[in-house]
Structure 1
Amino acid sequence: MPDIAKMQSEGVKVPIKFNEYGQVIGTMRSKLGSMIGSTIKRCASITYASWDKVPKSNKEKFWEIIKATFDIDHKSKRKIMSRAAKRWRSFKSHLTKVCIYDVLDANPTIKTFNMPRGYSQLITKTEWDEFCVSRMTDDWKKIRKIHQDRRKKNKHNHHMSRGGYLLALERLQQKKFGLEVSEIDRSQLWLAGHSNKKGEPVGTEATSVARNIEHYTKLMSEGKFEPDGSKDVLTMALGTPESRGRVRGIGLGVTPSQFWKTPLSSKKKGKEFEASSVEARFAMMEEKYRQQEEIMKQQQEMIKRQKEMMRQFMEQMKGQHSGFGGSSHASVPNYGSPIDQVTPSHQASPKSQHQPLAPPPP
């Protein structure tokens, strides 16, 4: 990422844009994704059993690096950390499959596994050995089997590049003359993600869903079907309800409450309010600290100016003193007392004041 490195060297933060659901969009979306992936690998060791086990200090270090590189608001921290957790888990899964179990499938008698090339600066020999041991335990093999069985139930594999649904959305917006994401039916995004370059659904399952989408879209246009929350065209076409906490066909990071504007439960409202309150207080503290720094800076500048004025004044006084023959005390002419200088016209002269009084006549 030479362009980001150049901006870092110049002290410029990379600007980031978000859509109405808080998803990163624009030309820097892929740059942010790459930065998140490469940074979290350095901040979180693969030896931690889960994301919850990663120390908070490591996560904060990661966030500070991202915040120092990108012009990103503190409100986006939760979504950024969620993406980091996903990248970290995907990295561990990749190492487990490619470097351990694929090797075992080729040679079941192997006991040691070589460290993957190109990761010597991220993973130490001790960490790699510990990671390999953790992946060979009976408990881990059971967990792996559960996830494999769950993965087999997924009948609809998408055929999107690294850009995912957001890239598909950008392409649809170009065709739809820049419509907002909320103005595009998610069933169209789902179709875009499960079609080939010619726009044809891939596989019999996707073809069947495409026909269902066409059917319910027609019913909706005729007024014979009205979407109700999550029971929209895509849900009816797939034939399965939405899972809790996510929305299909719209990309990562979008919650049902965001997408369908459903009200939160009272318990969750309290948590959301508490989180937003903490974020607001944090933002206020940051702003107050910034203002204090600005005031201190202004005071320092004022003191500096005062010192300079004092220095100039002393230089000027020194020059005046040197003009009186080098004496440290300038000779001041004696102009008399101020009282002596003032002699009002109606006041008697000093002589008349002290002349003795004449005796009274006989």
Structure 2
Amino acid sequence: MLGKAIQSGTKIPVEWHPTYGVPFGDKKNRTTLSSYIGVVAREPVNINYKNWGDVPKEIVDEEYEIIAKGFDVLEKRKKYILGRASIRWRAFKTRLRKYWLYKVHGNKKVVRKTSPWKYPMILQTNWNKFIKTYIEDDAFQSTLDAQAQRGEITAKGRDDVLAKAINKSDHGGRVRAVGSGVSNKAYFGYNQPTPPNRMQAQVNYLMKRWVL
């Protein structure tokens, strides 16, 4: 349906909620729009950009233009469309890391050195860089896990091991590496203050590192 619409120059209509500014109405059209945003988000955007904000503006604008060719979206909905694209792009990178970075060989988990056959747009050179980045992250996270088990650091709630591994706690609105649509409150609950004994343990650990 979408391919025919683009070829003929006929755009698929999308109704927008007058108050919330999100697609509503025809479910089939909404689902098609959502799926297409996901496809467009992962095709031209290199998986090795660290954050969506690092993606060059011309590539982001190109993504919007591609989507707008097939759907009746107003310019004022551009922010929503690109916001959804950024979410789908992050979710795509999470899937790559979770399902494609490693494979089971015998009783061992080994790195998958060949780029995923399911996503032929990922060049081998880009996949090699992706592997290097996240293997290093995983090794660092394993070190943090061990330190947390020994009580050298606290890893709880928003200050979890993944947050420490990237040196940043989860910010309001979403949680890293658990897919889209999961808020901090839903995943972690309220951000409880660190008890004094745990705070002192963290200070002691940091003091040790500075001395070393």
TM-score between both structures, scaled by the size of structure 1:
0.38
Please state whether the residue corresponding to 2:114 is helix, strand or coil. coil
C-alpha RMSD over aligned residues: 3.3
SS of residue in 2 equivalent to 1:85: helix
RCO comparison, higher one (Cα < 8 Å, 6+) = 2
Q: 2:3 aligns with which of 2, 5, 25?
A: 5
Higher-Rg member (1/2): 1
Does structure 2 retain, via aligned residues, the 8 Å contact 1:14–1:69? yes
In 1, the alpha carbon distance for the partners of 2:31 and 2:123 equals: 28
Tell me, in whole angstroms, the C-alpha distance in 2 between the residues paired with 1:79 and 1:43: 19
Contact 2:41-2:85 within 8 A present in 1 as well: yes
Gaps of 5+ in 1: 154-242, 253-362
Equivalent position of 2:187 in the other structure: none
Per the TM alignment, residue 111 of structure 1 is displaced from its structure 2 partner at its CA by 5.0
Measured in 2, the distance between the counterparts of 1:104 and 1:51 equals: 34
1:16 aligns with 2:1: no
Decide whether the 8 Å contact of 2:116 with 2:122 is kept in 1.
Answer: no
Q: 3-state SS of the aligned residue for 2:135?
A: coil
Q: Could you list the per-position Cα deviations for residues 244-293 of structure 1 after superposition, in whole angstroms to 9, with x for gaps in the alignment?
A: 558xxxx96xxxxxxxxxxxxxxxxxxxxxxxxxxxxxxxxxxxxxxxxx
Q: Which runs of 5+ in 2 are unaligned?
A: 146-154, 161-170, 175-179, 182-212
Is contact 1:135-1:141 (8 Å) kept?
no
Provide Cα deviations, 1:106-165, integer angstroms capped at 9, x if missing partner. 524x35533222212x101101111111101148844997xx9659x9xxxxxxxxxxxx
Output the amino acid matched with 1:14.
Answer: I
Q: In the TM superposition, what is the alpha-carbon distance from 1:43 to its structure 2 partner?
A: 1.8
What is the CA–CA distance in structure 1 between the aligned matches of 2:56 and 2:33, rounded to whole Å? 23
AA partner of residue 119 (structure 1): Y
SS at match of 1:80: helix
Q: In 2, Cα distance between the equivalents of 1:15 and 1:74?
A: 14
Overall identity of the aligned pairs, in %:
31
> Greater helix share, 1 or 2?
1
1:322-337 maps to which residues of 2 (within 5 A)?
none
Q: Please say if residues 134 and 140 of structure 1, whose CA atoms lie closer than 8 Å, have aligned partners that are also in contact.
A: no
Whole-angstrom CA distance in 2 between matches of 1:81 and 1:90: 14
Q: Deviations over 1:208-262 (max 9, x none)?
A: xxxxxxxxxxxxxxxxxxxxxxxxxxxxxxxxxxx9558xxxx96xxxxxxxxxx
Q: How many residues align?
A: 153
CA distance in structure 2 between the aligned counterparts of 1:77 and 1:106, rounded to whole angstroms:
48
One-letter amino acid matched to 1:12: T
One-letter code aligned to 1:83: R
Task: Specify the alignment match of 1:99 in structure 2.
Answer: 100
Relative to total residues, which structure has the larger strand share, 1 or 2?
2
Report matched runs for 1:1-362 at 5 Å.
3-19=1-17, 20-25=19-24, 26-27=26-27, 28-101=29-102, 103=104, 107-108=108-109, 110-120=110-120, 122-138=121-137, 141-142=140-141, 150=157
Q: Is the 8 A contact 2:21 2:77 kept in 1?
A: yes
